[in-house]
Amino acid sequence: MALSKTLSGKRILLVISGGIAAYKSLDLIRRLRERGATVTPVMTKAAQEFVTPLAVGALAASHVFTDLFSRTDEQDVGHIRLARDHDLIVVAPATADIMAKIANGLADDLASAVLLARRIPLLLAPAMNPAMWANPATRRNVTTLAGDGIRFIGPMAGEMAEGGEAGLGRMAEPLEIVAAIETLLDDAPKPLAGKRAIVTSGPTHEPIDPVRYIANRSSGRQGHAIAAALARLGADVTLVSGPVSIPDPEGVKVIHVERASEMLEAVLNALPADLAVMVAAVADWRVATESSQKIKKQPGDAAPTLTMAENPDILKTVGHHAERPKLVIGFAAETNDVLANAQVKLDRKGADFIVANDVSPETGIMGGTRNSVKIVSRTGIDHWPEMDKDAVAEKLAGFAAEKLGASRS
């Protein structure tokens, strides 16, 4: 299924400055165009040492602007036109050099002249060595830029291109930048503005000993996508996430936990709320007594016996809580009798709706990118077609907004 055209009709001016992270700008262009945006690239001289205008132009399907003194591009004062004829300027990567120019009003090349002449929002995706990011001069520039209303995405912590170095300075990944752009340019109605939402996502890890645990194959993609979709509709979202390998969604408060008991505590601490969407694949069982040392296998010994204890039922606790949200939506990941099991859960857990899906191994849903769900209520079952998890999230967020709106009348 094609990606939702969340940036359809939006015009992005992408300024690529000279750092090794410039190679990520190629993927960023692709991601923006997939979502319907028009991308006009501006490259500094240093950027062209890392990626070529030919590659950038081919991906953007656009002329690449590079020269402040171009006879053709500047015959109609092109740098002023570029600064005004777009919805947003994104600088990715934003090096220490170009940030210093913006902060201090310098305009000695096309990119900096465009940035000085702008009257539209600006988003910076910093990328530099951790020592450069931590330098007092850079910190002063960041403070100045933030005070001028300029928005940032990143930098992130991680390994640097320079071997053996790590820290805060990596450019945000292209999809993280896209999410920030979508948030900045989202002029759609905000039906969940003023509403508080709690979402759980991912698996839980229940320790057996210091190196082993009980878990499942949940990737967290569906829960994270739902949290992001609710935030885009204006909700104040708290996402309680088990251990996952995907990035935190933009515009969402994220609380990272490992065990079911920790997830329950975080959810209860987030109450009161208007909406709870319990997506996490919480382990039903844990080892009653966790070993403080690694359980060793000895020749001739029988396999160890693990005594299990039941984990707290987070959905049931929220569904029957004194501060129960107005709307409680649970998920039922089943491998057999999907609808029957979902209908049983509806009353037992105190939910308003159960989103039921078949997670049998052959479906590829658990850990995959697509989903096929059915919305189970006390009045019937709504069968949704198979779609990618982002599309499921958008539809479910709209569904929740509609139900909360109806509950006010």
Is 274 annotated as belonging to a binding site? no
Is 349 annotated as belonging to a binding site? yes
Residue 313 CB: number of other CB atoms within 10 A? 18
Q: How far is 209 from 190, CA to CA, in rounded Å?
A: 46
Buried b / exposed e across 50-61, counting CB within 10 Å, b at 16+? bbebeebbebbe
Is 294 annotated as belonging to a binding site? yes
Is 313 annotated as belonging to a binding site? yes
Residue 206 CB: number of other CB atoms within 10 A? 23
Amino acid at 405: G
Q: Is 301 left (phi over 0), alpha (psi -120 to 50) or beta?
A: beta
Is 98 annotated as belonging to a binding site? no
Residue 255 CB: number of other CB atoms within 10 A? 17
Is 314 annotated as belonging to a binding site? yes
Is 284 annotated as belonging to a binding site? yes
Is 382 annotated as belonging to a binding site? no
Is 331 annotated as belonging to a binding site? yes
Catalytic residue set: 216
Q: How far is 224 from 113, CA to CA, in rounded Å?
A: 39
State the Cα angle at 89 between 86 and 90, rounded to 5°. Answer: 145
Cβ-contact 318, 325 below 8 angstroms: yes
- Return binding residues for CTP: 284, 294, 312-315, 331, 345, 349
Write out the binding residues: 284, 294, 312-315, 331, 345, 349
